[in-house]
Chains A and B, each alone.
Chain A
Amino acid sequence: MDADTLRALLPLIIISATPVAVMLVLAFYRSHALTVFLVLAGLALSFASLFPASGLLPRMAAGLLVLDHYSFFFMGLMFAATFAVALLSYGYLGRKDIFPDEYYILLLIAAAGSAVIVSSSHFASFFLGLELLSVPLYALISYPRANPRNVEAGIKYLILAGTSSAFLLFGMALVYAELGTMEFPRISTAALFPGTDRNFVLAGVAMIITGIGFKLALVPFHMWTPDVYEGAPAPVAAFVATVSKGAMFALLLRYFTIFDIRRYGSLMLLFTVISIASMFAGNLLALFQNNVKRLLAYSSIAHLGYLLVAFLASGVLAAAAVAFYLAAYFVSTLGAFGVISVLSGKERDADMIDDYMGLAWRSPWLAGIFAAMLLSLAGIPLTAGFIGKFFIAAAGVDSSLWALVIILVINSAIGLFYYLRVIAALYSRRPGALAASPKLPVLGGITLGALSVALLWLGVYPATMLEIIRNTISRFF
């Protein structure tokens, strides 16, 4: 490994070193503010180091990690999202009666895991990244451990993530047994050799897809999502919904593009069915939720279904669509959970729709931000979500996936109904459970403000983001 490769690895090195540094500082001095400052500085540094390192791309590191513009784009996205989660967590944890510091260490390790996933090119690094991401999440979800709901959610996540890892490992073993390689690029070529037992490989791939499906919460592997979202602290739920899913999706997109999924009719069919089922199940089940976190959980299932439409479309346009949609989805989801976070009190999260009754008249800005985030998730113009949805529809139409595109638009309409329910509550004339005017924490307010600016920026003038995507994602093809 030469010096240039090490320099290209800098973002990963920094994000891995930060938790260690924070841990060392904690051994001597405990201060919530200082910890958060270090965490934010570490994340900002990792993000900043992407730029000087990007001149040295693309290159492989130790046969395990592929460092190219594609992985750097998603690393940047993951770091930025973690940054927002950390900011939101500060106020959220400050109101709880717990030691907040270790939380951030776990958060950073999970972020490092996501960065490893998006740059992995080998089963070993993929699995390592996955576990780096999952294991801290068990602890993060049940972090306010005095609350049985958190512990329940944590254990649920532990069991399901454990099961999915087992599936994944078994699938990898089957593929390795037949093809004799664990490197993604070589798997795709090896699979085409005459004499390989396709059934073995297909069984292996099916198991890997099962494992990934659990992580992405695609139907029929979605059962855990609402319970975990409901039980997890709001910022952690935001993290699960964005970083954990986004990293997985980025990996999926990269290797199925190399694999050229359109050559495999059965895989196409499988993902088509999963996509349709996820859209319908997510949206229809969300209709009946009275808990905002559960509602967002079901909506996130549907959003992954939308993403699969672009994924199935495959091609340069589709990859750019996925990248943009993920960015838009990150901003909106972080914003929505961010509002829940800043409104949550010491005892419980503000997660019932009734809690939001008439919020618009007590704190119009907060309600406006929440409404904007929900409208973006619904894909209404002038928000990031609309451009994302338009992009996906364009990719779908471009590849003549008519049925999927029609189902996507039908689902957007169904989806709108439950987002409107929340917005109707926000602007209801009746006062709700949170009668007192909530006091907005400074950091939370700044974060939400920045997220709203990003939301409108992406929605009104997406040219900047598209240029970034063109220079990173599209280069991969």
Chain B
Amino acid sequence: MIMNNLGYPVLSTLIFLPVIGALLIGLMNRKHEGLIKVSALVLSLLTFAASLPIFFNFDKLTPKMQFVEWYSWIPAFNIDYLIGVDGISVLFVLLSTLVTILCVLISWNSVKIKVKEFFMALLLIEGAMIGVFCSLDFFLFYVFWEAMLIPMYLLIGVWGGPNRLYASIKFFLYTLVGSVLMLVGIVYLYLYAGRDFNILHLANLKYPLGMQLLLFWAFFAAFAVKVPMFPVHTWLPDAHTEAPTAGSVILAAVLIKMGAYGFLRFSIPMFPDAARAMTVPMMVLSVIAIIYGAVVCLAQTDIKRLIAYSSVSHMGFVTLGIFALNTQGIEGGILQMLNHGVVTGALFLSIGIIYDRTHTRQIADYGGVASVLPVYAGLFMLFTLASIGLPGTNGFIGEFLIILGGFTANRAAGVFAATGIIIGAAYMLWLYQRVFFLNVNPKVEGLHDINMRELLAVAPMAVLVFWIGLYPNAFLSFMHPSVQSLLDKVRPASANFSTLADFLRAVFA
């Protein structure tokens, strides 16, 4: 049953177009690398094009699920193929389709072995990622959630750096251990609700507090690993460092968002009392992640590892915003997820560009890059500033809203989180100084500047940095009704807005 006004199953198209494309590429002869690359690019562009109708036809006034498709899948278990998007998930679907194009572009020449399998894996990941964000049936969600691990595991394990085996297995095991605990929780919910996997039905049930707390922690295991929250973040630096550029970009831009998305889609609406009760521990963990991640960044010698730890810090902001449980916090959290995807994704893309030329990730091997690759240096500067959260860039809006939300919910959390921004500025600027200024390192002498293909791969991100930074309402407007209905679940009493937030929205609207 298709319930949208487009007249065709748009979300299924997004999920299965890349998957079918991957299978088609699988049938091609591995000798025709050019054909394979072009096909992958065309497929990713087609998928992106197919996702645009969602952006333009999305009804921003309702918290309801849109573009819903509903078919029976395994009737014996009451499992349905039920997909749809709302204001929380829609932007991530779009981000996924965009990021895949950039990954194809950036991998064009840097992937030299097993080209066919690489692009197959990339497209399979895309399909599974979109599936995760669209699933409204718990079983279906879990299938996509886990299915995504396999191509990602191969992406790190086959095309990764020297320590790829360790990193890939660590990645897989961490995420799986978390997910199986969630599976037990899902099964329990399913039986409790009278054999129902429908996420929307499950979110409308009222569960006893004890059960909510147990389930909250079972789900926390899965989502916290994915975010990753302190102290289960240790897989991320390894995975990021060893993954090929495209793998890092997907990890940073989309994959780790799924954890935070999980909190928003499942933990908070289904177990609102537990979420309220657990605000303080969650905020403490978030603040630790913010400050710890930032401080560790200062000590890194490897560029990719540094950005990986900065992700831990930035995702700390996201979880802080989410568990502030107020409008600013959650909207800021969602926006910051998007921002982090754009900015960190762009930083990894940029690192990939220079890595293709120098084949080193050590900060000490760089220096004076700005005088050799001026255009590249300018772009990197933009993303650095966005990562710091300079006003006018997207990072500012997200972090500002989160700190506002955090401050409203818990003053101390807001104060500590703000410290993280300062350290963030320190490590990013210091990184920029060491890599781009100072004396020209012999290893970077004579390198040619960024080419057209690479520019195309990062340009969309640069556009988004300003678009979100200067006109955030274009994106915030997607979320308002959905976030409001989410908060109504957590806070049955009428929500009170701080005047500051209204002021802010008035300024940016």
Q: For the complex, what is the distance from the CA of A424 to the CA of B176, rounded to whole Å?
A: 16
A to B CB contacts below 8 Å, 26 in the list: A364-B117, A381-B142, A381-B144, A381-B145, A381-B147, A382-B143, A386-B146, A390-B187, A393-B184, A393-B187, A394-B190, A397-B184, A397-B188, A412-B176, A412-B180, A416-B172, A416-B173, A420-B153, A420-B172, A420-B173, A424-B169, A429-B158, A461-B74, A462-B74, A463-B76, A466-B76
- Chain A 385-434 interface residues, beta-carbon cutoff 8 Å to B: 386, 390, 393-394, 397-398, 405-406, 409-410, 412-413, 416-417, 420-421, 424, 427, 429
The reply to whether B157 and A427 contact each other, CB–CB distance below 8 Å, is yes
| A381 with B146, Cβ < 8 A, contacts A417-B169, A424-B165, A467-B76 known | yes
Chain B positions 143 through 175: 1 when the CB is less than 8 Å from some CB of chain A, otherwise 0: 111110110011001100000010011001100
Binary per-residue interface labels of chain A (356-398) against chain B in the complex, 1 for a CB within 8 Å, 0 otherwise: 0000110010000000000100001110001000100110011
Would you call A145 an interface residue if the criterion is a C-beta within 8 Å of the partner chain's C-beta atoms?
no
A390 touches B183 (CB 8 A): yes
Give the contacts of B180-231 with A (CB-CB under 8 A): 180-181, 183-184, 187-188, 190-191
Q: Which residue of A lies closest to B158 (CB)?
A: A427
Shortest Cβ distance from residue B179 to the other chain A in the assembled complex, whole angstroms: 9
User: Once the chains bind, are B75 and A463 in contact (CB under 8 Å)?
Assistant: yes
Q: Given A416-B173, A429-B113, do A380 and B184 touch, yes or no (CB 8 Å)?
A: no
Give, as a whole number of angstroms, the nearest-CB distance from A202 to chain B.
34
**Known contacts A406-B184, A420-B172, A463-B76; A427 and B154 CB within 8 A of each other:** yes
Minimum Cβ distance to chain B for residue A410 (Å): 8
Q: Does A470 reach chain B (CB closer than 8 Å)?
A: yes
Query: Smallest CB–CB gap between A371 and chain B, Å?
Result: 8
Question: Smallest Cβ distance from B119 to chain A, in angstroms?
Answer: 14
Cross-chain contact of A413 among B73, B114, B158, B177 (Cβ < 8 A): B177
Task: Tell me, rounded to whole Å, the shortest Cβ–Cβ distance linking A128 to chain B.
Answer: 36
Across the two chains, which residue of chain A brings its CB closest to B192? A397
Q: When A and B form their complex, which 5 residue pairs have the shortest distance between CB atoms, in order from nearest?
A: A409-B180, A466-B76, A381-B143, A381-B146, A413-B177
Contact present for A409 and B183 (CB under 8 Å): yes
* Chain B residues within an 8 Å CB radius of A360: 117
Task: Give the interface of A toward B (CB within 8 A).
Answer: 360-361, 364, 375, 380-382, 386, 390, 393-394, 397-398, 405-406, 409-410, 412-413, 416-417, 420-421, 424, 427, 429, 461-463, 466-467, 470
Chain A's nearest CB lies how many Å from the CB of B436?
34
> Which residues in A have their C-beta under 8 angstroms from that of B190?
394
CB nearest to B154 among chain A residues: A427
Tell me whether chain A's interface is mostly helix, strand or loop, or mixed: helix
Tell me the nearest residue of chain A to B185, going by C-beta.
A397
A424 touches B157 (CB 8 A): yes
Q: Please tell me if the beta carbons of A409 and B184 are within 8 angstroms of each other in the complex.
A: yes
Cα separation A470 to B154 with both chains bound (whole Å): 38
Give every chain A residue within 8 A of B153 (Cβ-Cβ).
Answer: 420
Of all chain B residues, the one with the shortest Cβ separation from A462 is B74
Contact A361–B180 (Cβ < 8 Å): no
CA distance A397 to B169 in the complex (A): 29
In the complex formed, the residue of B with least CB distance to A396 is B187
Which chain B residues border A381 with CB–CB below 8 Å?
Answer: 142-147
Nearest opposing residue in chain B for A413, CB measure: B177
Contacts of B430 in A (CB 8 A): none
Task: Please give 15 more A-B residue pairs, beta carbons under 8 A apart, in addition to A393-B184, A406-B184, A470-B76.
Answer: A364-B117, A380-B146, A380-B147, A381-B146, A397-B187, A397-B191, A410-B180, A412-B176, A417-B169, A421-B169, A424-B157, A427-B157, A463-B76, A466-B74, A466-B77
Residues in A whose Cβ lies below 8 Å from that of B145: 381
Tell me the residues in window 96-150 of chain B with beta carbons closer than 8 Å to chain A beta carbons. 113-114, 117, 139, 142-147, 149-150
Inter-subunit contact B146/A417 (CB<8 Å): no
User: B77: which A residues are within 8 A, CB to CB?
Assistant: 466
Which B residues contact A (CB, under 8 angstroms)?
Answer: 73-77, 113-114, 117, 139, 142-147, 149-150, 153-154, 157-158, 165, 168-169, 172-173, 176-177, 180-181, 183-184, 187-188, 190-191
Bound CA–CA A417/B117 (angstroms): 23
Chain B residues, Cβ within 8 Å of A394: 187, 190-191
A427 to B76 alpha-carbon distance, docked (Å): 37
Which residue of B is nearest A412, CB measured? B180
Query: A398 touching B176 by the CB < 8 A rule?
Result: no
Among A360, A420, A462, chain B packs the most CB atoms within 10 A around the CB of A420
Q: Report A-chain residues with C-beta under 8 Å of the C-beta of B165.
A: 424
CB distance from A174 to the nearest CB of B (A): 40
Complex: chain B residue closest to A417, CB-CB = B173
Could you tell me if B173 and A361 are in contact, using CB atoms closer than 8 angstroms? no
Q: How far is the CB of B342 from chain A (nearest CB, A)?
A: 29
Q: For B189, give the chain A residue with the smallest CB separation.
A: A397
Cβ of B174 to closest chain A Cβ, rounded Å: 10
Q: Given the complex, which residues of A lie within 8 Å of B184, measured CB to CB? A: 393, 397, 405-406, 409
* A49 vs chain B, min Cβ distance (A): 27
Q: A420-B169, A420-B172, A466-B74 are in contact. Are A393 and B149 (CB under 8 A)?
A: no
Q: How far is the CA of A72 from the CA of B158 in the complex (A)?
A: 46
Residues of A within 8 A of B146 (CB): 380-381, 386
- State in angstroms the CA–CA spacing of A139 and B65 once bound together: 63
Contact A398 B191 (CB under 8 A): yes
Decide: A380 and B191 in contact? CB cutoff 8 A.
no
The answer for the CA separation of A397 and B145 in the assembled complex, in Å, is: 22
Docked complex Cα distance between A406 and B214 (Å): 13
Give the one of B75, B77, B143, B187 with max A CB within 10 A: B187
Q: Which of B154, B169, B180 gathers most chain A CB within 10 Å?
A: B180
A residues in contact with B177, CB < 8 Å? 410, 413
Q: How far is the CA of A467 from the CA of B139 in the complex (A)?
A: 19
A420–B169 Cα distance when bound, in Å, is: 7
Chain A neighbourhood of B75, CB < 8 A: 463
Chain B residue with Cβ nearest A459: B143
Q: Which of A397, A405, A413, A463 interacts with B173 by CB under 8 Å?
A: A413
Residue from B77, B149, B176, B177 having most chain A Cβ neighbours under 10 A: B176
Q: Could you say which residues of chain B place their CB within 8 Å of the CB of A410? A: 177, 180
Q: Are A424 and B168 in contact (CB under 8 A)?
A: yes
Chain A residues within an 8 Å CB radius of B139: 390
Listed residue (B114, B150, B173) with the most chain A CB atoms within 10 angstroms of its CB: B150
CA distance A461 to B157 in the complex (A): 30
Please, which residues of chain B bring their CB within 8 A of the CB of A417?
169, 173
Q: Contacts A429-B113, A462-B74; is A393 near B173 (CB within 8 Å)?
A: no
The answer to whether A416 and B187 touch across the interface, beta carbons within 8 angstroms, is no
In the complex, what distance in Å separates the CA atom of A398 from the CA atom of B150? Answer: 30
Nearest CB of chain B from residue A477's CB, rounded to whole Å: 15
- Looking across the interface, which residue of chain B has its beta carbon closest to that of A469? B76
Q: Which residue of B lies closest to A368 (CB)?
A: B26
A416 / chain B contacts, CB cutoff of 8 Å? 172-173, 176
Query: Which residues on the A side are within 8 Å of B157 (C-beta)?
Result: 424, 427
A441–B169 alpha-carbon span in the complex (Å)? 33
Complex Cα distance, B169 from A380, in Å, reads 15
A254 CA to B177 CA in the complex, in Å?
Answer: 33
Q: Are A413 and B143 in contact (CB under 8 A)?
A: no
B67 CB to closest chain A CB (Å) equals: 23
Q: Which residues of A contact B150 (CB under 8 A)?
A: 375, 380
A462 to B139 alpha-carbon distance, docked (Å): 13
Q: How far is the CA of A413 from the CA of B225 in the complex (A)?
A: 14
C-alpha spacing A462/B147, complex, angstroms: 17
Query: How many angstroms between the C-alpha atoms of A398 and B191 in the bound complex?
Result: 7
**Bound Cα distance A360, B116 (Å):** 12
CB distance from A393 to the nearest CB of B (A): 5
